[in-house]
């Protein structure tokens, strides 16, 4: 990952976007009554570093996909990618930790266990990525799948809870999501994943083709999901009363912190990795991979509220198939399309159809 794939306009856009999102984060801190002390400064600076890296990864991914036929633009030493990404992630946490440690924030303290967990989170994927790059191409998908699981498992296990102890309520937890997206993309590059799964276009900004594909699938999936939800009692008409400005802000938050990261993990990385597995020749690899990814996606919702609800798993599995379908409509050229559909589904459920 070097700046040679980034134009001046793209770099300016990243700077302005990260500044805007950081300002929003600072405003939320202020509105919540958080005192403006050193801890707040550390969190805001860490937020800026993480957001800039997240946006930069999206631009590099899109540029790399367009430049795939230009090998001279793709010659980046794996160790530089790993080292650069690790330093970026370590710096963000160091700034945050110094701010929290220097301020009096009550019981929220940086612990040795939390720090070690974070160091493992940003280091272990690259160990596996280096090992994967040394493997024959035929065995590499197993290592890629291991990398995906290593990055994903800590979220569902709750292992990352002590990493960002302040502010209370897990407001800084979203940083884990964006850091993991960048780690996943960088680790796949180090592992030479392109030889197995092709180039993953982690484009953050949607285009018209993404909107068109999303609208088509929204028209058939939404009535199906709502019908199933009401028939099984999982849905109930329960509109949430909130200020008008909150609805678009929530949609943007869902897109950036839930939909886009999950689509990168499941549709962008897991599905093509499973498709590259050495299945029997008589099997349709694309169908097998699509259904397996959707099932794993559904099962990943078991520990979400409501806990261990088969209706949630069933709906999420069918939703996974819908997201995969819209991803295929774009020729697998953009994760923005399934992320938009994902956002629409989650937003509708959150604001109007929750039964609990």
Task: Determine the 3-state secondary structure of 288 from DSSP.
Answer: helix
Please, are residues 84 and 187 in contact by the beta-carbon 8 Å criterion?
A: no
Question: Whole-angstrom Cα distance, residue 120 to residue 116?
Answer: 6
pLDDT at position 147, please? 96
Question: Whole-angstrom Cα distance, residue 226 to residue 232?
Answer: 10
Q: Which of 300, 317, 297 is nearest to 308 (CA)?
A: 300
Q: Which residues pair with 354 in a beta bridge?
A: 235
Residues 74-104 pLDDT 10s:
445 777 888 889 999 999 898 888 877 776 6
Please, are residues 264 and 200 in contact by the beta-carbon 8 Å criterion?
A: yes
Question: Whole-angstrom Cα distance, residue 43 to residue 39?
Answer: 6
pLDDT at position 106, please? 61
99 Cβ neighbours under 8 A, 6+ residues apart: 38, 39, 40, 41, 42, 43, 45, 46
Can you say whether the dihedral through the CA atoms of 219, 220, 224, 225 is positive or negative?
negative
Question: Whole-angstrom Cα distance, residue 162 to residue 120?
Answer: 13
Q: Alpha-carbon dihedral of residues 311, 175, 204, 333, nearest 10 degrees?
A: -60
pLDDT at position 342, please? 96
Buried b (16+ CB within 10 A) or exposed e, 77-114: ebeebbeebbebbeebbebbbbbbeebebeeeebeeeb
Task: Break the chain into its structural domains and give their ranges.
Answer: 1-203, 206-356
What is the mean pLDDT for each group of 10 consecutive residues in the chain (356 residues)? 46 57 61 58 78 78 56 60 90 86 69 93 95 91 95 85 78 83 92 85 84 90 92 91 89 92 94 94 94 96 87 95 93 90 94 83
pLDDT at position 19, please? 61
pLDDT at position 254, please? 93
Please, are residues 133 and 192 in contact by the beta-carbon 8 Å criterion?
A: yes
Question: Whole-angstrom Cα distance, residue 332 to residue 203?
Answer: 11
pLDDT at position 271, please? 95
pLDDT at position 21, please? 63
Question: Whole-angstrom Cα distance, residue 150 to residue 255?
Answer: 23
Question: Whole-angstrom Cα distance, residue 178 to residue 67?
Answer: 24
């Amino acid at each position: 990952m070097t700046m040679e794939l980034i134009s001046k306009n793209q770099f300016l856009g990243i700077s302005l976007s990260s500044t805007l999102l950081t300002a929003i984060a600072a405003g939320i801190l202020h509105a919540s009554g958080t005192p403006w002390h050193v801890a707040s400064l550390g969190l805001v600076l860490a937020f800026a570093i993480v957001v800039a890296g997240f946006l930069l990864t999206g631009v590099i991914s899109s540029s790399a996909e367009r430049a795939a036929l230009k090998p001279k633009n793709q010659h980046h030493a794996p160790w530089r990618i790993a080292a650069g990404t690790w330093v970026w992630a370590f710096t963000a946490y160091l700034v945050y930790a110094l701010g929290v440690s220097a301020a009096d924030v009550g019981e929220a303290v940086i612990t040795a266990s939390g720090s070690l967990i974070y160091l493992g989170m940003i280091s272990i994927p690259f160990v596996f990525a280096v090992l994967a790059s040394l493997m024959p191409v035929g065995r590499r998908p197993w290592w890629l799948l291991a990398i995906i699981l290593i990055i994903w498992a800590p979220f569902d296990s709750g292992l990352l809870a002590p990493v960002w102890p302040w502010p209370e309520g897990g407001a800084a937890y979203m940083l884990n999501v964006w850091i993991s997206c960048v780690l996943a993309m960088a680790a796949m590059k180090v592992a030479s994943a392109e030889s197995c799964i092709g180039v993953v276009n982690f484009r953050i900004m949607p285009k018209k083709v993404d909107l068109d594909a999303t609208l088509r699938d929204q028209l058939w999936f939404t009535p199906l999901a709502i019908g199933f939800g009401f028939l099984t009692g999982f849905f109930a008409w329960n509109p949430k009363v909130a200020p008008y400005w909150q609805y678009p802000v929530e949609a943007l938050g869902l897109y950036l912190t839930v939909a886009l990261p999950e689509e990168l993990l499941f549709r962008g990385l897991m599905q093509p990795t499973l498709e590259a597995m050495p299945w029997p020749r008589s099997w349709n690899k694309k169908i097998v991979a699509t259904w397996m990814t959707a099932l794993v996606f559904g099962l990943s919702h078991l520990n979400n509220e409501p806990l261990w609800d088969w209706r949630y798993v069933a709906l999420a599995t069918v939703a996974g198939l819908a997201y995969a379908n819209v991803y295929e409509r774009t020729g697998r050229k953009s994760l923005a399309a399934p992320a938009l559909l994902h956002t629409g589904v989650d937003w509708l459920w959150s604001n109007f159809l929750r039964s609990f």
